[in-house]
A and B are shown apart, each in its own frame.
Chain A
Amino acid sequence: MIPLSWYLIVSAALFCIGLFGVFARRNAVAILMAIELMLNAVNINLLAFWRYRTPTEPIGLAWSIFVLALAAAEAAVGLALVISIYRERDTVIAEELDTLKY
């Protein structure tokens, strides 16, 4: 007997924690971790709506599988970029990577 709104609230809270991390963290790896939290929150939403609206069809399951695959691809490319930048510039602090600004 868990209302749908509870899942939606928890997922919104997790999303906003991730959002805060993306806004506020200085380290690029930490920003990537916060993005993973946001993707997880989206997946909770998808599966909650699947369970409450269309539990007999695998729509929500299929979409959350795609989100999972995208998250894996994003993590691999993002971390490769971080490592490459670290090798080049000796820093992964997002504020110091501002070449494109000038």
Chain B
Amino acid sequence: MIQQIIFIVISFLTLLMGWIVVTNRNLFHAALALMGSFLGVAGLYVLLDAGFLAAAQLLVYIGAISILIIFAIMMTRRLMQTSETPFNNQWVLGGITSLVVFAVIAYVVLQVFPWQPGAQPFGAAPEVPGAVLEASVTQLGAALVSVDQYVLPFEVASVLLLAALIGAIVVAWPEKKE
């Protein structure tokens, strides 16, 4: 019961913050709401017993990506002005499309999985001993470098991050004035 209340509060805050991100006129406020939304998602990860991912979410999203976005907003400062409309002229169509996508996903989900807590299938998270969940981080670390599992995607991700790092520097490098 208490878990359900926590879930509802966290997801309400997450969605509210997400709504502020896409509707607020002031980009800086939108970026702060984005941090709040990331925090809410980290809370959902904790409810899902994925503590490591919650910590990674805090470090990578709130610590790095949000700060990067705030930097970008400040470097394009003129556009923080609040007078003009934040939406383009397709926003009605975009809103209808998003609502239809949500309705379809929600309909399919509720057809397959029950709404009521405790009902089958997957009305409640399967009971797993705490030791198994704690060992999942160890397993994850081993799986990421094990040849049978994820070592190739892992290395590809490292190369991708390196390429993105160099690419970002090259793209943002100021052009030399003659």
Contact = CB atoms under 8 A, between A and B. Distances in A.
Contacts of A29: 27, 69, 72-73, 76, 79
Interface residues of B, number: 94
Q: What is the predominant secondary structure among interface residues of chain B facing chain A?
A: helix
A97 interface: no
B71 A79 contact: yes
B60 A1 contact: no
A19 B86 contact: no
B72 A79 contact: yes
Interface of B: 1, 3-4, 7, 11, 14-15, 18-19, 21-22, 27, 30-31, 34, 37-38, 41, 44-45, 47-50, 52-53, 56-57, 60-61, 64-65, 68-69, 71-73, 75-76, 79, 85-88, 90-91, 93-95, 97-99, 101-102, 105-106, 109-110, 113-119, 122-126, 128, 132-133, 136-137, 139-140, 143-144, 149-150, 153, 157, 160-161, 163-165, 167-169, 171-172, 174
